[in-house]
Amino acid sequence: MGQKKPLFRSVNTRTHGVRHGSGAKAKWERHTKAASTNVAAYGSMHSGQRHGYDYTPLFKFLLSRAGKNWDDVYSEAISRLDQEEPIWWMVAPDLSEGQAVFRSGESSYFSGLYIDDDNALALVNPDVTAENMTPFCACCTHTLNGVRLTTPFPRVDDLSQD
């Protein structure tokens, strides 16, 4: 039996104009008189950041396993990942720590999950859907669980009439 595909994918980080994090500021601070008092200026420019991975396949995998035994889901997910941390971005250990939605990119949102009392994976708020979620700005195309939000962003005129 062949090995299953990983639950993450590499994204292009070499294209001209691709910027990740705020590391560009450091190049202007090094080798200056002000930097001689700043110990951090002499440290690594990479600071443990990991760029170039998209965990959307993991998030879709976890959503598709809602209602299943958490131990089985976790063991399969961890065997197909490079690190454990992205699982906990979406899954909370119990409902009190869970979030209804979490942001995975600039305008991509996913439903939050938690581990219920029966050790099953469950949605924190199953009532949140792409039909009833409001976008956070008018300039982006927002998605929830990979589905485009259908509610339009409220215009300023609409807000002033309330």
How would you class 59 by CB atoms within 10 Å of its CB: exposed for 0-12, middle for 13-18, buried for 19 or more? buried
What pLDDT was estimated at residue 36?
54
Name the residue range of residue 114's domain.
Answer: 55-156
> Is there a single domain that holds both residue 116 and residue 150?
yes
What pLDDT was estimated at residue 155?
76
| Confidence grade of residue 26 (pLDDT, cut at 50, 70, 90) | low
What pLDDT was estimated at residue 158?
55
| Inside any domain, residue 138 | yes
Q: For residues 135 and 154, what is the distance between their CA atoms, to the nearest angstrom?
A: 9
Interacting residues of 106 by C-beta distance below 8 A, sequence separation 6+: 140
Name the residue with higher pLDDT: 93 or 31: 93
Name the residue with higher pLDDT: 3 or 158: 3
> Is there a single domain that holds both residue 102 and residue 44?
no
> Is there a single domain that holds both residue 63 and residue 27?
no
Report which of 114, 99, 92, 111 is spatially closest to residue 149, judged by C-alpha positions: 111
Name the residue with higher pLDDT: 105 or 100: 100
> Is there a single domain that holds both residue 47 and residue 102?
no
- Average pLDDT, integer, range 9-33: 63
> Is there a single domain that holds both residue 152 and residue 83?
yes
| pLDDT tens digits, one per residue of 46-89 | 555 556 789 999 999 999 999 999 999 999 999 999 999 999 99
> Is there a single domain that holds both residue 33 and residue 46?
yes
| pLDDT tens digits, one per residue of 107-122 | 899 999 999 999 999 9
Report which of 49, 55, 59, 60 is spatially closest to residue 24, judged by C-alpha positions: 49
| Inside any domain, residue 162 | no
